[in-house]
Structures are given as C-alpha cells and as structure tokens.
Amino acid sequence: MSQEHTMIDFTGRMAVVTGAGRGLGRLYALEQARRGAAVMANDPGDPMRGDGADRGVADDAVDEIQGAGGTTRGVAHGGQRH
C-alpha cells in the first residue's frame, strides 16, 4: 500500500518565523520560503554561550532565503524592526 505525501503550498502567504536565525527556526523559514511563503524572519541573536547578542543571525537567514530565490518581508531583532 503506497502513501501519497502532499506538500503544503504557501504561495501568497506570509510566514512569521521566530528563531529564524538558527536551528529549527532557520530550517522552517527556509522550507516555508521554498514552498512559496514570504518570510518575516525574527531572531534576537542570543547565543547559547550567553556572551552577547549576534544581531546578524536573522540577517544571514534573510540573505540565504533571498539567495535561494525566496521572498522576505523584513527582519526583526528582538522586537526592533528593520
């Protein structure tokens, strides 16, 4: 018995992804963009080491999404929209 897996199409939708700079959040942001969503990436950049925020992680995710042909609708760093 075969199972058919259908992919959800996010074309024309907005995805707001918290934690988009690293780990699963980044994976979800990239995958939703691949499926057609415009992605709003949010990540405060708090490192696991606790030695200060890296505000560039959300920017890097946006660059990767755009580099792969995806659409972004801005980036937020810990509540500040840019």
The answer, yes or no, to whether residue 79 has pLDDT greater than 90, is no
User: Does a structural domain hold residue 32?
Assistant: yes
> How many separate domains does the chain show?
1
Q: What is the pTM of this model?
A: 0.76
User: Does a structural domain hold residue 3?
Assistant: no
pLDDT, tens digit (0-9, with 9 covering 90-100), for 12-45 = 999 999 989 889 999 999 999 999 999 998 888 7
User: How is the beta sheet containing 71-77 ordered, strand by strand?
Assistant: 14-18, 38-42, 71-77, 80-81
User: Does a structural domain hold residue 68?
Assistant: yes
User: Does a structural domain hold residue 2?
Assistant: no
Q: Which of 22, 25, 38 is nearest to 73 (CA)?
A: 38
User: Does a structural domain hold residue 8?
Assistant: no
User: Does a structural domain hold residue 40?
Assistant: yes
User: Does a structural domain hold residue 35?
Assistant: yes
What is the DSSP code string of 14-26?
A: EEEEETTTSHHHH
User: Does a structural domain hold residue 4?
Assistant: no
Domain that holds residue 35: 14-81
Work out the end-to-end distance of the chain between its first and last CA atoms, rounded to an integer number of angstroms.
50
The per-residue pLDDT for 40 is 92
The per-residue pLDDT for 80 is 47
Give 32 or 4, the one with higher predicted confidence: 32
